[in-house]
């Protein structure tokens, strides 16, 4: 527009026009010079690995000239080093908009997408270029890297070896050759290639970083002392990388993880401190440091500060939140600010899920809120309402008594106690003398014998994962919710975690199912546990995936296998509840004869166990079927069974005989 007006302006005011033209040219030249200066500053900062300075310099360059490809490429590189993947991708998209054939931008974008787990997008951006030249020297190596990262190792190996004679044998290809050999399981060949690369590039920290990662892959495929030795060798490579460049991020991170694996938590903390100076808002490094501090001191105040910062930086991470909650419950008084914040969050999630008719999930959050803030009146009242809604009368009545004593001026609790007491006295359990109303509430003697279940910690599918103690944490939460479920008798694994009788995974502190670990756990009668669950876990991004197997060790058979997927801020809550319910559903329903009467049998199981009016119950003496009967009355924990052949059954049955029944199919639910 200025150029179109300039001819007329020149005719009218030639001197002013000339001056304006000089100003425009000078200004353009000045901006161009400033842009180049910022680019040079950014590139110098990149070479010195000063990524914050590089990022700021390239941002200035882009602001001055948004169409500068060089500025945007530098900005994307610096942004990636600072974990600003979204901004890096935006910058690369702009480069490809300006220069669609820019292979360097294509490489960077494909690598970044693969790092984020977006493998199909990475393949799609490479596809048009590889269709033109399948063995493109710039892009084919990235294609193989994406294949390996996505788990398509066999395809990657086949395509790499098919192309090997057609591609140049530069350093990148030779490093890739070693990597492919390692994924193929040919560790001897990979080691030889890596040793050669190290001897040729003894001053390159990246070479030693990749050697360390190769040794970790070897360790992942190994067991016992061999795994330990390979992790130790990997640590030496990372140390060499850090000695060549003190701020080599990935080397510092992996070195910290190897220190955690070997129980050298103080050293791990030192490396993580260095990383957090460089990346103060990194949730991964904060979590690892909090874990290291907690392993040294379970009541560490420094760990508390890390957990508080974690929650403020990422309030939807379910692993970090549950770690903070367990720490708070075990170490902090109820009035502590962290514990209060965590409890109020659970209360808010309870309301949100209840309003969405997700009642089981809401109940999970309310239980957690009550554990964090056990004396908060609002939470106690909500818990009372849930007990009543769920038909959990003993819990309801005992809490009602607690509220009556806690708030003596509130007469409604006293009236409720009197009203419910009369109804309670009509229940089967009360009439049979299995429960009594004492000074401190309901005194129970149901004689319940629900099936015993042992749940081992699930094995982490990711080696040296971001959340180091995910398997132990998830296992503990599942067992906790099993322990408060009357349908099952949970075997306490966590109180035995510090004993020397178990093989404990060094990095996570988890107790996996092994022959030794199973044999070390006995029930109160000194017997091995019959029903045992074990599994695997993966937590990436915001998605939690678990695979479980339930084994009946008495019958020597697998009762069932299942998978659980959950996503988002409630992923762990949802996965824990679904795992609990699925495990319980797979275990055969059983109880015992509690009393034998003149015309009926009292069984120590009730509505909560699936025994309702009309259910057929089968009675056994050891392996022999004695007879059967039909439930004619039941309450929450007790059932009355009328025999079909009264004289025969009552003549042969005895207290303690086993009772079995078929579980009803669960009703469809919209929750």
User: How is 204-229 classified by DSSP, letter by letter?
Assistant: -HHHHHHHHHHHHHHHHT--HHHHHH
Average pLDDT rounded to a whole number, residues 374-382: 93
Residue 113, pLDDT above cutoff 90: yes
Residue 3, pLDDT above cutoff 60: no
Structural domain range at position 421:
392-445
Chain mean position to CA 78: 29
Instruction: Clarify whether residues 475 and 430 are in a common domain.
Output: no
> pLDDT tens across 56-95, in order?
999 998 898 888 889 999 999 999 988 899 999 999 999 9
Tell me which residue of 472, 468, 541, 51 sits closest to 253, measured CA to CA. Answer: 468
CATH of the domain at 494: 3.40.50.10070
Instruction: Clarify whether residues 462 and 577 are in a common domain.
Output: yes
Please tell me the distance from the alpha carbon of residue 338 to that of residue 326, in angstroms, as a whole number.
Answer: 12
- Mark which of 445, 465, 480 sits at the end of a domain: 445
Proportion of the chain above pLDDT 90, given as a percent: 62
Average pLDDT rounded to a whole number, residues 403-421: 82
Q: Is residue 55 part of a domain?
A: no
- Ramachandran area for residue 76 (φ above 0: left; ψ -120 to 50: alpha; else beta): alpha
Instruction: Clarify whether residues 381 and 476 are in a common domain.
Output: no
Structure-token match 């000063």, residue found: 50
Q: Is residue 131 part of a domain?
A: no
> Poorest-confidence range of 120-129, 367-376, 420-429, 569-578?
420-429
Collect all residues with Cβ–Cβ distance below 8 Å to 386 and sequence separation of at least 6: 363, 366
* b/e 249-281 (16+ beta carbons within 10 angstroms → b): bebbbbbbbbbbbeeebebbbbbbebbbebbee
| CA dist list (Å): 108 to 51, 104, 119, 160, 210 | 17, 6, 13, 20, 18
> pLDDT tens across 166-201, in order?
888 888 899 999 999 999 989 999 999 999 999 998
Residue 163, pLDDT above cutoff 90: no
Collect all residues with Cβ–Cβ distance below 8 Å to 454 and sequence separation of at least 6: 491, 493, 518, 521, 529, 531, 532, 533
Instruction: Clarify whether residues 333 and 344 are in a common domain.
Output: yes
Residue 522, pLDDT above cutoff 90: no
Structure-token match 């033109």, residue found: 132
Q: Is residue 415 part of a domain?
A: yes
Residue 670, pLDDT above cutoff 50: no
pLDDT at 335: 86
pLDDT at 668: 39
Instruction: Clarify whether residues 458 and 564 are in a common domain.
Output: yes
pLDDT at 111: 93
Query: How many separate domains does the chain show?
Result: 4
Token digits for 573?
Answer: 């809550």
Residue 619, pLDDT above cutoff 90: yes
Q: Is residue 578 part of a domain?
A: yes
CATH of the domain at 603: 2.40.10.340
Instruction: Clarify whether residues 439 and 471 are in a common domain.
Output: no
Proportion of the chain above pLDDT 70, given as a percent: 93
More confidently predicted of 379 and 444:
379
Q: Is residue 608 part of a domain?
A: yes
Average pLDDT rounded to a whole number, residues 264-277: 96
- Tell me the pLDDT band of 669, cut-offs 50, 70 and 90: very low
Average pLDDT rounded to a whole number, residues 494-502: 76
Query: Mean pLDDT over all residues of the chain?
Result: 88
Helix H or strand E encompassing 564: strand 557-567
Instruction: Clarify whether residues 461 and 556 are in a common domain.
Output: yes
Collect all residues with Cβ–Cβ distance below 8 Å to 671 and sequence separation of at least 6: 357, 358, 359, 360, 361
- Tell me the pLDDT band of 157, cut-offs 50, 70 and 90: very high
Q: Is residue 342 part of a domain?
A: yes
- Tell me the pLDDT band of 438, cut-offs 50, 70 and 90: low
Instruction: Clarify whether residues 573 and 459 are in a common domain.
Output: yes
Instruction: Clarify whether residues 606 and 631 are in a common domain.
Output: yes
pLDDT at 19: 47
Please tell me the distance from the alpha carbon of residue 135 to that of residue 423, in angstroms, as a whole number.
Answer: 81
> Poorest-confidence range of 142-146, 358-362, 424-428, 557-561?
424-428
Please tell me the distance from the alpha carbon of residue 300 to that of residue 267, in angstroms, as a whole number.
Answer: 16
Instruction: Clarify whether residues 629 and 599 are in a common domain.
Output: yes
Q: Is residue 82 part of a domain?
A: no
Q: Is residue 261 part of a domain?
A: no
Query: How many other CB atoms sit within 10 Å of the CB of residue 216?
Result: 25
Structure-token match 């909500």, residue found: 382
Q: What does pTM read for this prediction?
A: 0.87
Token digits for 489?
Answer: 């008798």
Instruction: Clarify whether residues 425 and 489 are in a common domain.
Output: no
pLDDT at 112: 93
CB 546 within 8 A of CB 537: yes
> pLDDT tens across 443-478, in order?
777 788 889 999 999 999 999 999 999 999 999 999
Collect all residues with Cβ–Cβ distance below 8 Å to 453 and sequence separation of at least 6: 482, 488, 489, 490, 491, 529, 531, 532, 533, 583, 584, 587
| CA dist list (Å): 115 to 120, 121, 172, 190 | 12, 11, 18, 23
- Tell me the pLDDT band of 226, cut-offs 50, 70 and 90: very high
Please tell me the distance from the alpha carbon of residue 569 to that of residue 550, in angstroms, as a whole number.
Answer: 27
pLDDT at 16: 52
- Mark which of 570, 586, 602 sits at the end of a domain: 586
> pLDDT tens across 9-30, in order?
455 555 554 444 444 444 445 5
- Mark which of 543, 558, 586 sits at the end of a domain: 586
pLDDT at 27: 46
Instruction: Clarify whether residues 502 and 573 are in a common domain.
Output: yes
């Amino acid at each position: 527009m200025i150029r179109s007006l300039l001819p007329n302006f020149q005719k009218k005011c030639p001197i002013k026009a000339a001056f304006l033209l000089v100003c425009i040219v000078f200004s353009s030249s000045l901006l161009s010079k400033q842009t180049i200066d910022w680019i040079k500053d950014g590139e110098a900062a990149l070479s010195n690995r000063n990524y914050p300075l590089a990022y700021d310099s390239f941002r200035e360059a882009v602001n001055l000239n948004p169409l500068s490809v060089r500025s945007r490429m530098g900005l994307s590189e610096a942004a990636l080093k600072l974990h600003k993947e979204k901004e890096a991708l935006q910058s690369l998209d702009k480069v490809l908009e300006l220069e669609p054939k820019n292979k360097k931008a294509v490489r960077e974008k494909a690598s970044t997408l693969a790092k984020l787990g977006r493998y199909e997008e990475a393949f799609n951006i490479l596809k048009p270029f590889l269709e033109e030249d399948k063995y493109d020297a710039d892009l084919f190596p990235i294609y193989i890297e994406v294949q390996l990262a996505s788990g398509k190792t066999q395809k990657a190996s086949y395509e790499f070896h098919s192309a090997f004679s057609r591609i140049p044998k530069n350093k990148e290809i030779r490093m890739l050759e070693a990597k492919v050999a390692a994924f193929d399981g040919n560790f001897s060949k990979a080691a030889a290639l890596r040793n050669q690369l190290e001897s040729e590039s003894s001053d390159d920290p990246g070479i030693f970083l990749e050697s360390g990662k190769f040794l970790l892959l070897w360790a992942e495929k190994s067991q016992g002392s061999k795994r330990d030795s390979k992790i130790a060798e990997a640590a030496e490579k990372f140390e060499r990388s850090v000695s060549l460049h003190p701020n080599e991020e990935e080397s510092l991170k992996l070195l910290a993880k190897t220190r955690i694996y070997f129980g050298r938590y103080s050293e791990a903390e030192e490396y993580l401190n260095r990383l957090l100076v460089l990346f103060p808002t990194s949730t991964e490094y904060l979590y690892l440091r909090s874990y290291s501090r907690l392993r040294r001191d379970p009541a560490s105040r420094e760990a508390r500060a890390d957990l508080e910062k974690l929650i403020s930086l990422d309030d939807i991470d379910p692993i970090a939140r549950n770690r903070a909650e367990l720490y708070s419950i075990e170490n902090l008084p109820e009035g502590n600010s962290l514990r209060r914040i965590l409890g109020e969050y659970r209360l808010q999630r309870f309301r949100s899920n209840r309003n969405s008719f997700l009642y089981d999930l809401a109940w999970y959050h309310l239980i957690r809120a009550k554990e964090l803030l056990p004396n908060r009146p609002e939470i106690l009242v909500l818990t009372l309402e849930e007990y009543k809604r769920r038909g959990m009368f003993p819990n309801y009545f005992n809490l009602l008594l607690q509220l009556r004593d806690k708030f003596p001026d509130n007469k409604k609790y006293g009236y409720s106690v009197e009203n419910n007491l009369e109804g309670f006295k009509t229940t089967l359990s009360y009439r049979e003398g299995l429960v009594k109303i004492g000074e401190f509430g309901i005194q129970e003697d149901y004689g319940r014998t629900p099936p015993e279940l042992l749940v081992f910690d699930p094995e982490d599918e990711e080696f040296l994962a971001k959340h180091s103690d995910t398997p132990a944490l998830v296992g503990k939460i599942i067992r906790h919710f099993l322990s408060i479920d009357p349908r099952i008798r949970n075997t306490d694994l966590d109180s035995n975690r510090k004993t020397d009788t178990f093989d404990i995974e060094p990095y996570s502190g988890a107790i996996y199912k092994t022959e030794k670990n199973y044999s070390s756990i006995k029930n109160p009668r000194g017997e091995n546990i019959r029903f045992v669950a074990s599994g695997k876990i993966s937590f990436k991004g915001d998605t939690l995936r678990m695979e479980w197997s339930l084994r009946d060790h008495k019958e020597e058979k697998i009762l069932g296998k299942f998978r659980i997927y959950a996503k988002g801020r409630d992923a762990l809550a949802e996965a824990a509840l679904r795992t609990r319910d699925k495990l319980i559903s797979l275990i055969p329903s059983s109880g015992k004869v509690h009393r034998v009467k003149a015309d009926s049998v009292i069984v120590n199981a009730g509505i909560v166990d699936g025994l309702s009016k009309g259910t057929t119950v089968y009675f056994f003496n050891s392996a022999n079927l004695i007879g059967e009967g039909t439930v004619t009355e039941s309450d929450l924990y007790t059932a009355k069974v009328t025999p079909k052949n009264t004289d025969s059954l009552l003549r042969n049955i005895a207290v303690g005989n086993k009772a079995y029944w078929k579980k009803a199919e669960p009703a469809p639910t919209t929750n």
